[in-house]
Structure 1
Amino acid sequence: MPLPAPNLDDRKFQDIVDEAKRLIPRYCPEWTNHNVSDPGVALIELFAWMSEMVLFRVNQVPERLYVHFLNLVGIEPFPPSVARTDLTFWLSAVLEQPVVVPLGTEVMTAAGASSGAAEAVVFSTVEELVIEPPDLKTARTVTADGERVVDVWDDLRFSVEGVPCFASSELTPGDTFCLGFAKSLAGVVLRLTITAQAEGIGVDPKNPPLVWEVWSGEAWIAVPVHDDSTGGLNREGEVVLLVPRAHELLSIGNTPAYWLRARLLAPHPGQPTYQAPPRLRSVQAEALGGTISAEHAEIVPGETIGRSDGVPGQAFSATRAPVLPRREGETVRVVDNDGTAEWIEVDDFTTSGPNDPHYVWESGTGTVRFGPRVRYRNGSVRQHGQIPRDGAQIVVSGYRHGGGGRGNVGARTLTVMRSTVPYVRGVANLRPAVGGVDAETVAEAMTRGPLTLRTGQRAVTAGDYERLALESSNEVARTRCLPAPRGNGAVRLLVVPHVRGVPVDHTLDDFAIGNELMAVIRDHMDAHRLVGTTMEVTTPYYQGVSVVALVHAGPGRPADLVRQRAVEAITRFVNPLTGGSEGTGWPFDADLNAAVITQLLESVDGLERVEEALLFQFDLRTGRRISGARDVIRLDAHSLFLAAAPQVIVR
């Protein structure tokens, strides 16, 4: 519900007329005819109508004042959240010494690169990247059951015949060939130069039943293959791997090392597999680059934002807004005749005394505020926070500017480096940037405000859990709280993250919750839930739905255009974020039937009539239908629909 605005005057037209008539005997006793036909009464009604219009205007509280009301109760609009992605830096040559990409290295999109950064989207690295040459020190083959471990390091280096890639001649799925390194390969772009002979015949060189993996500390995780010219380890060539930024120590065969392994997979139906193990004669490892995390942020150097006049409640604005959450070293300094003093940022001035060098830095607007002087009900006056001396300069040491949906750029768009790095020839983001959400609007804050005030920041009811989860991050789009399946008073919190782009491009992986967002939600909920309450944060089960429709286009309407509009309408309607009749996301517990799809398609421009519409359950992982045609698909309490592979036949 919205925050109820205070009515400064709640009188209506009839109230004003009645009040004026009651005053007639006092001020004009000779006026005795109070009928509607009397000219005086007509004037009263005219002025009553005009007064009601004035009162209506008086009662409209401007948004600016509404924001001040929210601030008075400690509710401020959320600042924008930052889009993040991984940047891969490519070396100009294979080197024997480490290459360092400094913290804060800025990379931007090609758009606007020639005309300046005003139109470009700028990302900066959040850590220092050190690209070190890999040190390959051992090799093992391990059977699928783990009982047989063979040291093949010497044979790999010195044997003319080489070594079989897998330990068991039966080629059991799960057999592995392991390479051990002295140092972690986390984030390294690794090139394996392989010499092999074509004994692993029978496979499709472009689709071998093979996966590369590294140990993350908890599990073996897949390593993306950037390029493979070996045909599945069957010939001389190179394998370029993008090692994830998690690679930990593990012991295999009593040998601790940082392991990289090639694991044999069970072939898919119709996929050819090996008839004999590939035989390797040599393996050489080199670093071609490295990957590091980056965020949508432009580093702004230190600047003077104003000069103090010695009065309470001063406010100064940074040049660029919004301002991202401050890191170490990003602060406000006050420069006066006594020198430079570094002040302390606080969330508010509630506990600040008159001598505490505190300030508040609003991320959304970039405004730096100093403590106010407050008069209390008993007449006493207290200064909350120290006041900078008259004439003192207010200086920010530097900050980061960015955030918002603008940072959700596509893959391979961050390709321009703002400054050169020695031995680095280029950079790219191999995956899209995600997580950028615009700042909360006043309307959204007005909706959230009363919900926050009602419960006092404590999770008691299901609605409290849902509201607090929405407050935890701008990246949270929808929530639902249900009893956990195991019972015992536990609750399950279902979270749907924001997904950018058009619904027709949405996939199941887009609705996954990243580790950073999951940690933010859990930490926020742990701080507000009741002691003893067990909580599980997860995503809904996304039930894939494939719609097959036979429709007829209107005369003169292009079939391709009608088909495109119909597919877009289906994917938008059957979607966790844009679906449903209100366009705010498919409702929980709402089933889907073919009649609703028929009505939806009949509203598509250029479509004359719908001959037939069928629904199929769809496995979003395998990309296959898992049921026959149905008129209705049921949805349980823990699930949401997601359209997949719609087929529209236009006649």
Structure 2
Amino acid sequence: MTLPAPKLDDLTWADMMAAIRRRIPAESDGIWTLHAPVDPGVTLLELFAYLLEQRLYWLDQVPDTLVVAVLRLLGLEPPRPAVPAATVLRLSARRPDTAVPVVPAGTTLTRDPMGRVVFTLDDDVTVLPLAEDGEVTVWTDRDRTADLRAGRGVALLAGDGGAAEARFTLPLAGAEPAPGPVSLLIALDAPAAAVPSWLPGAVSDVPPPAGLTWSWFRPDTGVSGPFEKVEDGTGGLRRSGIVRLHPPAGWTTEDRGVLVSTTAATYAAPPRLTRLAVNVSAARHRREFTAQAVDLADQVHAWLKLPGQHLVLPDAAGRLLDAAVRLDGDEWLPVPDFTFGAPTDRVYLADRTEGAVVFGDGLTGRIPPPDTEAVVGYALGGGRDGNGGLTANWTATDDTPVELGAVTAANLVRAEGGEDPETVDAARQRAAGSLGEVTRAVTADDYVTLARTTPGVAVARAYAALGEHAGFPCTQVPGAVTVHIVPAAPRTDLGREDFTAAPQPDPGMLRAVAARLDEARLLTAEVFVRGPRYRDVALRVDLSGSPADRARVSAVLAAALRRFLDPLVGGEEQDGWPFGEALRPSALLRAAQRALGDLADVAAVAIGLDGADPQEDCNEVPLGAGELPVLRSVRTRIVAVVEPGEGLA
């Protein structure tokens, strides 16, 4: 439980004076007899009580600087600065007569007529010519373009561990060479834990689920070849991201086919493509500026050898994100506060409200000398102002290079992730909440929590088997822990063709979880990370009477029992069949009857495990620790109706 915050300011002046007056006779051995306010001694006691009351009040008023210092002392983040929103822009540019235009990284565009909300491109964009009314075509086992066009999504690579490939034909026109990389937005129907690569919460170092090869081909001739370099922002199709394909010499827009293939599609579930677009780049609500020495000279000349010096940056009030300061050629370092600074440390902090950089007081942080040459590079933006919906009215700012001509853009995804600076009170609440976070793996629940919260991968469930050792399967090994994890997989439609009934974690997910648990484990613990052990289940359901529509009854029954035994949405709580829980005919009968309702009466359920025929048995079928069932078949059988009392002598 969380302890209540102590209140130190709980003693009033009147309470103190009452307590003091009661102690006067004893402390003075009865000599002090006049305790009225007219007595000078009582007047002094009242003054001291007044001063003590003020100091008790101050004890409850913790200054912001102390809160920030305590957070840093505890190893927690100080109040977080503003975060810029991010989106993906698809660019269009007036094409020169000579070459395909390249819009350089750092180009600024705005959707705001006043030009206050400005986004900056992360990468160069080669604006390749597009065919009018052209569209991306997708081919896996057959032409899937209609599915993509209708928004149903396309399962690209099967997750069965075998070789697989997917082909895209980009809507490029002409026979133009590419002076830069081909940039593609690959939008996937991925779990929320797999944050898209352009958003602030994305994790960059997660191992890919499968090794991919990207190559190009010419649709009409079949000529093909590899790309010289691939920058895969999807992490191997684990999440939505931007893929930058660097074509070889001689490549033209006639070679508009893209082939992605793998020799081992080890995905937990096939990655599902929802959108593919060309000529794109991530963009962030951030704009870079530089204040030169001449711009800051008046402020620097006014400095004295006194604490609290600061530099107000042009047009930065309320919008300052960060700054880089150089004084007389020496680089000064940013800090969240001056608490741990020494008198000689060249440090400063960025004040977003004032739009200034602030220097130390000579005790915690050096005082900059007067008449120094100051150069400050700084960025403006961030905050919730950058968040917004889909618009197609993005235009280049006035300082866009003239040779690019008219640059316009449309954002293909919502601008998200922008956050205002965190207040000190919010940081205190976050720190209080973080005290309950699991950071060390001691108990079985700790292993489960850490596995499920591994950044960058979507682990839906986990089970820690204490004493289970991968090398000694039949013996309990002290200090060994095997964590079985189940990855997230789509469960909206258990009957679609790419449904994965028994999801297994991909190799990258296993490595990511293992690395997290290795950092958190106790020194003497030996940790293994594995997928669940699935046991094939076959059921026979006996129905009494004669259902009117046996085909419908069989379909409803199979769907209900498949969901009931599902590793992710099964069980009575619908959060996945519990690891190692036995299969009970009574529980299956109850689930079957609940699904059928008045369609039919369920007389009995027989269970078969690992390919065995379902047998008439009233006993439960046990599962081992770390094991889960997966329903492979359901067979229905009509039996005679047994009337109550029938067969009795």
Instruction: Report the TM range for the smaller structure's normalisation.
Output: 0.3 to 0.5
TM-score between the two structures when normalised by the length of structure 1: 0.42
**Higher share in strand:** 1
TM-score between the two structures when normalised by the length of structure 2: 0.42
